[in-house]
Structure 1
Amino acid sequence: MINLIETVRWDSVLIDDWLLELLWAAGRFFIHPLFYLFFLLTFAYGYLRVKQERNSFHIRVFDIYNEMKFTYTKGIVLGLIVSVFSFALGLSLPFGTVVLMAIITALVGLTFQLRWMSAAFTVGLTLLAATFIPDGSFFVGLSETSFASLSILAGLLVIVEGILIFRTAHIQTSPFLKTSTRGLPIGNHQAKRTWMLPLLLLVPGGTLTSALPWWPVLSINGEPFLLLFIPFFLGFHQRVQGSLPKESMKVTGERVIWLGVLTLFMAVASIWFTPAAFIAVFVAMVGREFITIRQRLNDDSAAFYFSKRDHGLMILGILPHSPAEKMTLQVGEMVTKVNGYAVKTVDEVYQALQKNRAFCKLEVVNFNGEIRYAQRALYDGEHHELGILFVQEAKKKWENEAV
């Protein structure tokens, strides 16, 4: 009976210690410098995007906070799922390694080259840097870095990156215009994305210990540890002119997922054969860059998708909360008639809308080449503000404004 009471007391103390440590981990998450640095960076990304949209259309498509809201909402669930996996495996990184990874992420973010913010590069560069940088007061325990843990983490995060690209990168891509070699306006879409993932790691040097003989799976040499929640940031940049943004980015997402699976497979081998960790991150970095280059070459060689057509007007963008959005018009569809009148210039759209200021009926050719009709009553002030961005010859400065 006494032994039972002592066991209950021990379990109670252990649970209290873990709950207290989880609270401390949550607190550390919100004081992490990257959490606030990317508030500023995503605001700057939004500012540059709005500036580009205004240069093309004299109007912003999405508000300046769009990148910030996207970053801090779209990756939370997958971040928590990765945290469960990393915790179950017992992925452990010394505090100095975590600091080094944060510094590399911050430096890459400050370059505004979001393609380099793939986990393949940020985690891969951390592993390589940890190999050569000596221990110091700033990078405590760096020499004790588990290359197996770091490479496995890279594989998991590349898989998550691919899933996020596949599921969310195409949402609200930013349209803009550029001039072709023949001097014609060509519509483009681009996604400059960052995702914040709440990531839970074990860090040697705390007060927690495991009472389970089989956990953690990846050994931390029996050392006590603490829990560390960090905001991990992923980045992505892709420009599309030869296809629909959704189609192009889903293909990229699938490729990145398979790259992550390959990286993870090789990283697991590093548990028994340490050099496999370096091979895994090398494959991840080279593979991620290959995917980017291949997408660009394929897109550049394809016919321009968003270009001026002989019949109708190609929809390049839809303004949020506009009548066009409420009529379920889609980027990439073709408007051929407005209120029964055939149109092929923005001027003709304006003129057709004036024929009936209380109602708008559009004949639209969808992605399958089929004709459908979109119609809606118009209210005061809406007859010239449907919220559609067309690809149109820029003979006059105002012709690329939203209709």
Structure 2
Amino acid sequence: MVLKALLTYLVQPALWVAIATVIYLYFRRLKLERKQFRIAIEKDFYEGRTFLKTGLLLGGIGTLLTFILGLTLTTKMVYAYEAVTIVSLLLGGGAFSFYAILLTGGVALYLNPGQSGSIMASAFLVLAILYLLGRLFLASSKQVAHFFPLVKNGQRGRRVATYRWREMAVAPILVLIPGNEIQGIFAWWPVINLGQSSYSLFFLPLLVTAGMQILKQDSKEALIFYQKQTEVLLLLTVVVAIMALIWPVSAPYGLGFMGLVSIISWLLERRKDHQANNWYVETTEGVRVLAVRKDTPAAKMGLQAGDIILECNKVPVSNEKNLYAALQENSAYCRLRVKTYAGDLRAVGSAIYADSPHEIGLVLFQDEF
């Protein structure tokens, strides 16, 4: 019966829209990278791997929790959540998925006034907890290498890089739907009987997204702040959900409170980035590193986004052409003098590909012709 319920998960429209969105975001990223840097920084479809791995992990944890709590939703609320989630995917690539959960909880209050609506709103607060657990997992397991640059024109005629990261997953969360309404439409749909009541088994496709954009912060510091913000949101949502489960009448206030706190959290995130005092800007002091491709000589040297290469093989460099010309000075080994994003000076070196010194693994501002 559970296996049959899992198979019904595969017909959920929100799941397939999310899969299509992940594939679209992957090819869009490759297209932008090749347009701006002539190469794909990361060809690996890591977005799809994360989508699958995180979805299955969170689905297992979430199903255990919802089964213990006996989480129930009506078919109308399932339809409402999937509709709002699909709109979130189409309009913002899933960026508003947390608000989609809270909004659907509000819809539950509107369609089910009184005690039943408050109880159902409490269920969506539980789903919000699962969402934040998934977001925290995505952020905690994230490598800074997955912040990808986009170049735009800045002030004073110099180009500036911004860094973006976004990933998502869809977790199959088991919920119970009172009655056998679904079985009346699909005779094969699994139904269980608990005492005098019947429930349809339903795996809800819970969309989880994580991402951010930075202009002036160090990506590691920005990610740590994002994790802390998510932890605070998670703790507050747990407190609000417990209160709602004990006093269902507090559920609508809990939904509104978490929506407000989430907006404040986002504003604080943007404020922190705005107050940072460094930019990933094109410079005449040397050659700015925008990204480093993994498993390359540049990665072995520990170069990171934001570093400025001042010298290559003891030759001062000021642009991409200078740098690759200097690499020819030594066909087997590369020595660099680097100024880090924090302003520290250091010397690094590594063996390079003798027949292809241009494949050192650096992503730079492209020379303009």
* Superposition TM-score tier, normalisation by shorter sequence: 0.7 to 0.9
* Counterpart contact for 1:186–1:304, Cα < 8 Å: no
* Counterpart contact for 2:301–2:348, Cα < 8 Å: no
Are the structure 2 counterparts of residues 306 and 272 from structure 1 closer, same or farther at C-alpha, using a change threshold of 3 Å?
Answer: same
Are the structure 2 counterparts of residues 87 and 171 from structure 1 closer, same or farther at C-alpha, using a change threshold of 3 Å?
Answer: farther
Q: Secondary structure at the match of 1:26?
A: helix
* Counterpart contact for 2:193–2:199, Cα < 8 Å: yes
Q: Given the alignment of the two structures, is residue 22 of structure 1 paired with residue 2 of structure 2, yes or no?
A: yes
> Could you tell me which amino acid in structure 1 is paired with residue 281 of structure 2?
S
Q: How does 1:107-256 map to 2 (within 5 A)?
A: 107-117=87-97, 119=98, 121-133=99-111, 146-168=120-142, 170-205=144-179, 207-210=191-194, 223-256=197-230
Where do 5+ consecutive residues of structure 2 fail to align?
181-190
* Counterpart contact for 2:289–2:305, Cα < 8 Å: yes
CA distance, structure 2, for counterparts of residue 352 and residue 169 of structure 1 = 31
CA distance, structure 2, for counterparts of residue 354 and residue 97 of structure 1 = 64
Between 1:268-277 and 1:57-66, the stretch displaced more is: 57-66
CA distance, structure 2, for counterparts of residue 378 and residue 334 of structure 1 = 22
Q: Secondary structure at the match of 1:146?
A: helix
> Could you tell me which amino acid in structure 2 is paired with residue 48 of structure 1?
R
Q: How does 1:355-374 map to 2 (within 5 A)?
A: 355-365=329-339, 369=344, 371-374=346-349
- Shift, 1:319, TM fit: 2.7
Residue in 2 aligned with 1:61?
41
- Shift, 1:327, TM fit: 4.3
- Shift, 1:155, TM fit: 3.0
CA distance, structure 1, for counterparts of residue 197 and residue 307 of structure 2 = 60
- Give the counterpart of 2:19 among 39, 54, 74: 39
> Could you tell me which amino acid in structure 1 is paired with residue 125 of structure 2?
S
* Counterpart contact for 2:176–2:199, Cα < 8 Å: yes
Residue in 2 aligned with 1:3?
none
CA distance, structure 2, for counterparts of residue 78 and residue 326 of structure 1 = 34
* Counterpart contact for 1:159–1:258, Cα < 8 Å: no
- Give the counterpart of 1:258 among 217, 232, 235: 232
Q: Deviations over 1:45-102 (max 9, x none)?
A: 2233233323432333233844333322334323322222222222222232122111
> Could you tell me which amino acid in structure 1 is paired with residue 96 of structure 2?
W
- Give the counterpart of 1:279 among 253, 256, 260: 253
TM-score (norm. length: structure 2): 0.85
Q: Secondary structure at the match of 2:95?
A: helix
CA distance, structure 2, for counterparts of residue 197 and residue 105 of structure 1 = 13
Are the structure 2 counterparts of residues 301 and 56 from structure 1 closer, same or farther at C-alpha, using a change threshold of 3 Å?
Answer: farther
CA distance, structure 1, for counterparts of residue 64 and residue 237 of structure 2 = 19
> Could you tell me which amino acid in structure 1 is paired with residue 192 of structure 2?
L
Q: Given the alignment of the two structures, is residue 301 of structure 1 paired with residue 269 of structure 2, yes or no?
A: no
Q: Secondary structure at the match of 1:74?
A: helix
- Shift, 1:301, TM fit: 3.2
Q: Given the alignment of the two structures, is residue 377 of structure 1 paired with residue 355 of structure 2, yes or no?
A: no
* Counterpart contact for 1:73–1:196, Cα < 8 Å: no
CA distance, structure 1, for counterparts of residue 309 and residue 58 of structure 2 = 38
CA distance, structure 1, for counterparts of residue 329 and residue 22 of structure 2 = 43
- Shift, 1:164, TM fit: 2.4
Are the structure 2 counterparts of residues 275 and 163 from structure 1 closer, same or farther at C-alpha, using a change threshold of 3 Å?
Answer: farther
Residue in 1 aligned with 2:73?
93
- Give the counterpart of 1:103 among 76, 79, 83: 83
CA distance, structure 2, for counterparts of residue 84 and residue 150 of structure 1 = 16
CA distance, structure 2, for counterparts of residue 76 and residue 250 of structure 1 = 25
Q: Which has the larger radius of gyration?
A: 1
Q: Secondary structure at the match of 2:141?
A: helix
Residue in 2 aligned with 1:138?
none
> Could you tell me which amino acid in structure 1 is paired with residue 357 of structure 2?
H
Are the structure 2 counterparts of residues 364 and 197 from structure 1 closer, same or farther at C-alpha, using a change threshold of 3 Å?
Answer: farther
Q: Secondary structure at the match of 1:151?
A: helix
CA distance, structure 2, for counterparts of residue 283 and residue 166 of structure 1 = 25
* Counterpart contact for 2:109–2:121, Cα < 8 Å: no
CA distance, structure 2, for counterparts of residue 38 and residue 292 of structure 1 = 23
Residue in 1 aligned with 2:183?
none
CA distance, structure 2, for counterparts of residue 197 and residue 226 of structure 1 = 19
CA distance, structure 2, for counterparts of residue 74 and residue 156 of structure 1 = 12
> Could you tell me which amino acid in structure 1 is paired with residue 109 of structure 2?
T
Residue in 2 aligned with 1:215?
none
> Could you tell me which amino acid in structure 2 is paired with residue 269 of structure 1?
M
> Could you tell me which amino acid in structure 2 is paired with residue 60 of structure 1?
A
Q: Deviations over 1:200-244 (max 9, x none)?
A: 222223643458xxxxxxxxxx62324322332122342112112
> Could you tell me which amino acid in structure 2 is paired with residue 63 of structure 1?
K
Q: Secondary structure at the match of 1:162?
A: helix
Residue in 2 aligned with 1:269?
243
* Counterpart contact for 1:162–1:253, Cα < 8 Å: yes
CA distance, structure 1, for counterparts of residue 165 and residue 200 of structure 2 = 37
* Counterpart contact for 1:307–1:391, Cα < 8 Å: no
* Counterpart contact for 1:312–1:335, Cα < 8 Å: yes
Percent sequence identity is 21
Residue in 1 aligned with 2:186?
none
